[in-house]
Amino acid sequence: MGFRICFFLLILTGASFCNGGITSSFLRKEAKSIDMPFDSDVFALPSGYNAPQQVHITQGDHVGRAVIVSWVTQNEPGSETVVYWAARSHRKHHATARVTIYKYYNYTSGFIHHCTIKHLKFDTKYYYEIGTRPTVRRFWFRTPPAVGPDVPYTFGLIGKPLSRIISIRKMTGICAGDLGQTYDSNLTLTHYEMNPVKGQAVLYVGDLSYADHYEFHDNRRWDTWGRFVERSTAFQPWIWTAGNHELDYEPSIGEKKPFKPFLHRYRTPFQASGSTDPLWYSIKRASAYIIVLSSYSAYGMYTPQYQWLWQELPKVNRSETPWLIVLMHSPWYNSNSYHYMEGETMRVMFEPWFVQYKVDLVFAGHVHAYERSERVSNIAYNIVNGECTPVHDQSAPVYITIGDGGNIEGLANNMTMPQPKYSAFREASFGHAMLEIKNRTHAYYGWHRNADGFAVRADSVTFFNRYWHPIDDSTTKN
């Protein structure tokens, strides 16, 4: 009898600890992530005197009819002109860049050019040229279709010959955050490029170069990172989010202005969404409304970021952009011991709004692992009721941590145990994800680990839109 009672209690105890989803049992090779050396081929300078390098583009307005083209010249400012033309037109247009340089401790940057080209046609392939002959370099990009809930979207292939064009409906690619510039970073970017599902834009959730890993934040590592990712960033927009490794705040060497290298090198279209700071802003792209937040800027009540978000969320018209997506660096729902609870203060400030406005998806980085939550909220708490446990909430977003780009700090493989109820899938592997928005109701999502083949999805979900199709899309059965 006594044995039976003990056995029964054991079963109960076991059940109470089995509420979470999947902690992947995949075993990857344990190896340190090492930065690629300066003479790596992926960091090679383009040939020719003063040739433009570190070329990158991002969306330049609120709706996708403008593109910001950025590049660096090392020897002299060179040409400030971007020549661009639609692929099916011979009429060439010119736009002029602004040039900036910055100093960081004992480093002086090259000449950093930023040029916004405007009034582009939607869903059109453009070529653009930068530099001075004989070192003119030519690239191309494709503008998104006009903003709307069910617009077809055709993607070109990045990092491959132009002859291969893949036609897929409405899609936004997501590369991992926290990419860095190790051999693993290179593998992640290669997997993103070689994925048979082709992303047109990258939602980047912060921590770019990890230059601050080096003494005096060796800013030459900002340059190598710019050259490393150029094979993607020159051809499709990367939507930038600032992480803690963009702070570069180092008073001991006189560097007291946060985000100095990042803000000189990377532009965002913040003014188009009424923001007063490049670190938080929004864009519309096809059927998605994307809000970028700054985990490392003030967000308490009355602060500029708080005021902006408070005014921003009611502006989102789900009949125009059904998919409401938020990017930030520090995750709110993270069951890894690494950076545990760091996103908690921002969650307390903004989570009730995310539920009120039915945000579909929140992507974050920072933790060097992958995790996907169920739809949960934790907004019932007040100072006396003690209700501080996440609960399933179909008005809440799914939170995805994708800080597994492969940077020099390595993987975060110390998960809290047991797996929390809200955590649907988690794994400490490097990889990237793709989000395929099909229409106003459905989006396919897949996370790909670098250890697998290019087409393999280690975690895949069909998300249902919270506004148009708020059906339970949870994957954990309790």
**Contact by Cβ (8 Å): 347, 335:** no
- Catalytic site includes residue 119: no
Q: How many helices (H) and strands (E) does the chain have?
A: 6, 28
Q: Which residue lies nearer to Fe ion by CB, 207 or 473?
A: 207
What's the min distance (Å) between Cβ of 409 and Fe ion? Answer: 9
What's the min distance (Å) between Cβ of 283 and Fe ion? Answer: 22
Residues 6+ apart with CB under 8 A from 444: 435, 436, 438, 460, 461, 462, 463
Q: Which residue lies nearer to Fe ion by CB, 155 or 259?
A: 259
Q: Which residue lies nearer to Fe ion by CB, 219 or 407?
A: 407
What's the min distance (Å) between Cβ of 14 and Fe ion? Answer: 36
**Number of residues engaging Fe ion in binding (CB under 5 A):** 4
Q: Which residue lies nearer to Fe ion by CB, 137 or 366?
A: 366
> Which one of the spans 236-244, 268-276, 392-400, 409-417 is the region binding Fe ion (CB under 5 A)?
236-244
At residue 103, the 3 state secondary structure works out as strand
Q: Which residue lies nearer to Fe ion by CB, 116 or 295?
A: 295
Distance CA 94, CA 375 (A): 47
Q: Which two tokens stand for residue 380?
A: 């019932």
Q: Which residue lies nearer to Fe ion by CB, 260 or 366?
A: 366
Binding-site member from 109, 172, 244, 334 for Fe ion (CB under 5 A): 244
Per-residue binding string, Fe ion, 187-226, x by CB under 5 A, is: --------------------x-------------------
CB atoms within 10 A of CB 309: 21
Q: Which residue lies nearer to Fe ion by CB, 248 or 360?
A: 248
β-bridge pairing 238-239 and 202-203: parallel
What's the min distance (Å) between Cβ of 338 and Fe ion? Answer: 10
Interhelix angle 183-194/220-233, rounded to 10 degrees, is: 10
Distance CA 440, CA 253 (A): 51
> Which one of the spans 2-10, 244-252, 265-273, 370-378 is the region binding Fe ion (CB under 5 A)?
244-252
Q: Which of residues 33-72 bind Fe ion (CB under 5 A)?
A: none
Residue type, 314: P
Residue nearest to Fe ion (CB): 366
Distance CA 118, CA 99 (A): 18
Angle at 465 between CA 391 and CA 203, to 5 degrees: 95
Distance CA 255, CA 104 (A): 7
Q: Which residue lies nearer to Fe ion by CB, 65 or 366?
A: 366
Q: Which of residues 428-467 bind Fe ion (CB under 5 A)?
A: none
What's the min distance (Å) between Cβ of 218 and Fe ion? Answer: 18
What's the min distance (Å) between Cβ of 159 and Fe ion? Answer: 26
Please, is 352 exposed, middle or buried when counting C-beta atoms within 10 Å of its C-beta (0-12, 13-18, 19+)? middle
Per-residue binding string, Fe ion, 155-194, x by CB under 5 A, is: ----------------------------------------
| DSSP structure class, residue 182 | B
Distance CA 167, CA 147 (A): 18
Q: Is residue 243 involved in binding Fe ion (CB under 5 A)? A: yes
Distance CA 318, CA 255 (A): 43
Q: Give Cα 206 distance to the centre of its chain.
A: 6
| DSSP structure class, residue 451 | T
To which H or E segment does residue 306 belong?
helix 304-312
What's the min distance (Å) between Cβ of 407 and Fe ion? Answer: 9
Distance CA 422, CA 20 (A): 6
What's the min distance (Å) between Cβ of 329 and Fe ion? Answer: 6
Distance CA 141, CA 121 (A): 12
The strand order across the sheet containing 172-174 reads: 238-239, 202-203, 172-174, 431-437, 442-449, 459-464
Q: Which residue lies nearer to Fe ion by CB, 55 or 176?
A: 176
> Which one of the spans 87-95, 215-223, 239-247, 387-395 is the region binding Fe ion (CB under 5 A)?
239-247
Q: For 303, what's the count of Cα atoms within 13 Å in the CB-facing half-sphere?
A: 14
Among residues 62, 113, 191, 339, the one annotated as catalytic is 339
Q: Is residue 246 involved in binding Fe ion (CB under 5 A)? A: no
Q: Which two tokens stand for residue 57?
A: 């583009």
What's the min distance (Å) between Cβ of 302 and Fe ion? Answer: 26
Distance CA 236, CA 156 (A): 9
> Which one of the spans 163-171, 238-246, 292-300, 444-452 is the region binding Fe ion (CB under 5 A)?
238-246
Q: Which of residues 356-395 bind Fe ion (CB under 5 A)?
A: 366
Task: Please report, as ranges, the residues that interact with Fe ion according to CB under 5 A.
Answer: 207, 243-244, 366
Catalytic positions are 339
